Structure 1
């Protein structure tokens, strides 16, 4: 099985100084030669009535958002950034730099919080401090979706396989953000359940503990693939605004690393719990899309996706692999048959992956040939950010 790509990195590029505002702000005035100044009215990030938000997980150390948008030919509607949580002074500086770039670009920040010191570090004070910072972002015209402690059902993160502590921390953070940052929302995003419980990870639940008992959903005294990989971790409908799941093509046979074309239908099969390939198992996996999206009236996001290609020179070409994967993401039947799916974010990184002991090029715009094919394939129902307009905050949140 794979435990999913490790996604670290920080914003080190200089903050863009231009201001912006989103759809909630007053638009440009006729005949204006400079962007008008308007007041932003923060509203929670919502799913578009029609279409799907197109976003990016950007490698901030090597590419600015402006450069990526120029390569894509569109302004991404969602931009993902990662940070340790609680944030150090440097983390705060990096997140603020990401905010400035998104403010200049337009669109929504998807802020992924990684509590590497453990869930106990997410205190009420820490939650309140973050909500104040987000309120400032919201008042300046940038909506934020907070993806807290993603892949919490995995065994590889310090916050993993601790459902009781996780739910408490998530609810604590959601309460603070909903109360103080009206232009922000909360996303719950477990790892795809194929291969659960991902035995062997450093943070695997230990038999005899209360957390282990909570994960033993069928009460047979074990935590295995027959237990529900999602339900014990769900924080409740009031705390959750969006649901999400990262879905990658790592290959068709474990161990990963081969350059192979993804099986037909793999993306939607994983999303709905019907995939029985090498990335899954022979046991039933719950239908994530229906159970946590459509049935609960929650918009569904794919916060991260891409297809594995390495420089081994063996197997299928990077273009063929990536084209086959994004053809599944851009299936014209998706808006009709899966109307709750409202966000797809490409993982635009070229980085070493410990699972394959090699550098994986996940990108879609780095290589000119791949970029041309990708941009030509973007579906008309993808939604991008509008042209940014300068605005002044409606009110200041404490930073």
Structure 2
């Protein structure tokens, strides 16, 4: 395991070196461009050269702000004539300037343009610029608690509507690599006593040529868990073949009798592994393994799992939808690139955005898992404590990412202190009492599943949806969880204002808010305001939010195609739906717009838009006439509930109409 993880760190080191190399190459390209344009030539007198000279002169005098329009002209000029590298170089000057003065929106715009033109030039040198753009991008999102299981399952389904092998209907499996955890080790049954909850998946490492890891299966069975096996061909792909060794391995896997997520030759897109460099051979071997296990071990789900970097080398290794059950990814963040404090700090990097590209590419047809992930709370190289940063990103990992990415169906945490490895980051959960306690608090959420089974779902049925134009109404009560990311990294406080009035101020993670329906009238406006540690407001966003009236009949919550509504101050409920649930028959005459309902010896008659109703022929007056709303008849709740002898009560806090029939 340690070797594998070290290889992963070498990979990030390689990326770092590659990006530093890109910076050198950018400088070289810049020098070449200057040399080319500054060579003796009649073109010196043209407007392009004038802009170039003016910009250089202003910069030499310390007037970068005045150089901006000249850089803009030059960038646009070179873009218009197809000189992509020069265009990228001048957009690079613009993004660096705006980043330096804290105008992050402009900086992001130019970082993206710089990358666009490096791509057009056939180079990946803009990758580091996109990473910086993500670091300084302000994000304010809200996720709202929802108990509509139909809606939650629909969001978590692939396009074809069919769940993959062992895929939950919604929710996210909890996974853990615990072998180097001093409090758990390989005794998986101890996890619950240490972290307060059993985990669904445990990670084990195996190597091609070695026997099937039966000892890990035994421990997983004891813990009532599944196994993720990272199977690594340490001598490269050539020895991987359909032979007696493979068939025996497959038979042993079948005999294990538990779900196995098989992650063969992961991080294949990184030059730090021996199985990198030949996508066609990799695909051939992966497909062969798929076919063998499909025949020999149906309890194996094939996991194709690149690293999240380098991103441009991921897709060529994809074996194809027919051969992949799950798409995994190794995704780590760290305070310093490769653990090296001499390199630029990485604490502004968020794990949330790191998944976006892979998710957008594959989630429409495959469930995703974070096959390996971690957030260090201590840097041994720098001798710095990052507990606050670790908690911030653990909350994003276990709350925000499952809600933002509903097709993210498993997270396996790499629970290791890498004190002796080159990265020297401490990812261990149990090394820090604060981190261990916070992790335990996060994973108590039922949305994080502790058992692998087909079409599993949270025990309480609750999930979260983005608060947006399609999801802005709740019943009884709700909980809001924000995803807030600012260039300052650390948040001082989050303030909530409802219809212009501040109703809550949060200074601790997760900065959430609980609301009762009675606090939120229809058509309300909720504003979330974000302040940095210095007390300065640095972001805000406004959301539409409404609560709806709920109806409960004899203790059962009822759902209606047309929900209740408040009209002219009266609570109006669906007449036909409730009458029929109370055992009445309902008839409607479209020509006269008359409704007749009967139950036993009781007959109710009313006419749409009239306040007079008749109970067994005796006239009564309604506070508000029955009305047609979206083709459904709504009438005052108390009348609807009491018409056939029920008792009606109203709870203003939860905005709930309760009807008790006595049956």
- Superposition TM-score, scaled by structure 2 size: 0.41
- Range with greater deviation from structure 2 (124-133 or 46-55): 124-133
Q: State how far apart, in whole Å, the 1-side matches of 2:276 and 2:203 are.
A: 21
Q: State how far apart, in whole Å, the 1-side matches of 2:341 and 2:189 are.
A: 32
**Preserved CA contact (<8 Å) 1:262 1:324:** no
Residue aligning to 2:301? 185
CA-atom RMSD in angstroms = 2.8
**Preserved CA contact (<8 Å) 1:247 1:267:** yes
Residue 381 of structure 1 pairs with residue 447 of structure 2: yes
Residue aligning to 1:128? 247
> Which string of whole-angstrom CA distances, capped at 9 and with x for unpartnered residues, describes residues 239-271 of structure 1?
10000111111225566358978326x212111
Match of 1:105 among 210, 213, 223: 223
SS at match of 2:409: strand
- 1:45–1:80 CA distance, 2 compared to 1 (3 A): farther
Residue 156 of structure 1 pairs with residue 156 of structure 2: no
SS at match of 1:328: helix
Match of 2:399 among 307, 327, 331: 331
Q: State how far apart, in whole Å, the 1-side matches of 2:330 and 2:439 are.
A: 20
**Preserved CA contact (<8 Å) 2:337 2:346:** no
Q: 5+ residue gaps in structure 1? A: 9-42, 197-227, 273-286, 387-399
**Preserved CA contact (<8 Å) 2:176 2:201:** yes
Per the TM alignment, residue 385 of structure 1 is displaced from its structure 2 partner at its CA by 2.8
Residue aligning to 2:289? 173
- 1:368–1:337 CA distance, 2 compared to 1 (3 A): closer
Per the TM alignment, residue 5 of structure 1 is displaced from its structure 2 partner at its CA by 3.5
**Preserved CA contact (<8 Å) 2:164 2:326:** no
Q: State how far apart, in whole Å, the 2-side matches of 1:255 and 1:376 are.
A: 28
Match of 1:341 among 368, 392, 408: 408
- Report the structure, 1 or 2, having the larger helix content: 2
Residue aligning to 2:347? 262
Per the TM alignment, residue 311 of structure 1 is displaced from its structure 2 partner at its CA by 3.6
> Which string of whole-angstrom CA distances, capped at 9 and with x for unpartnered residues, describes residues 61-120 of structure 1?
851212233201111101000011121xxx54xx11111000010121001101012211
Per the TM alignment, residue 312 of structure 1 is displaced from its structure 2 partner at its CA by 5.4
Q: 5+ residue gaps in structure 2? A: 9-162, 453-663
Residue aligning to 2:166? 46
**Preserved CA contact (<8 Å) 2:181 2:430:** no
**Preserved CA contact (<8 Å) 1:261 1:320:** no
> Which string of whole-angstrom CA distances, capped at 9 and with x for unpartnered residues, describes residues 249-294 of structure 1?
1225566358978326x2121111xxxxxxxxxxxxxx21121222
Residue aligning to 1:307? 375
- 1:262–1:106 CA distance, 2 compared to 1 (3 A): farther
Residue aligning to 2:359? 289
> Which string of whole-angstrom CA distances, capped at 9 and with x for unpartnered residues, describes residues 366-390 of structure 1?
433321121112233111138xxxx
- 1:188–1:83 CA distance, 2 compared to 1 (3 A): same
Aligned ranges 1:39-118 → 2 under 5 Å? 45-59=165-179, 62=182, 63=185, 64-87=187-210, 91-92=211-212, 95-118=213-236
- 1:65–1:261 CA distance, 2 compared to 1 (3 A): farther
Q: Which has the higher contact order (CA 8 A, sep 6+)?
A: 1
**Preserved CA contact (<8 Å) 1:119 1:159:** yes
Q: State how far apart, in whole Å, the 2-side matches of 1:255 and 1:318 are.
A: 13
SS at match of 2:394: helix
- 1:175–1:327 CA distance, 2 compared to 1 (3 A): same
Q: State how far apart, in whole Å, the 1-side matches of 2:417 and 2:339 are.
A: 20
Q: Which structure has the bigger radius of gyration?
A: 2
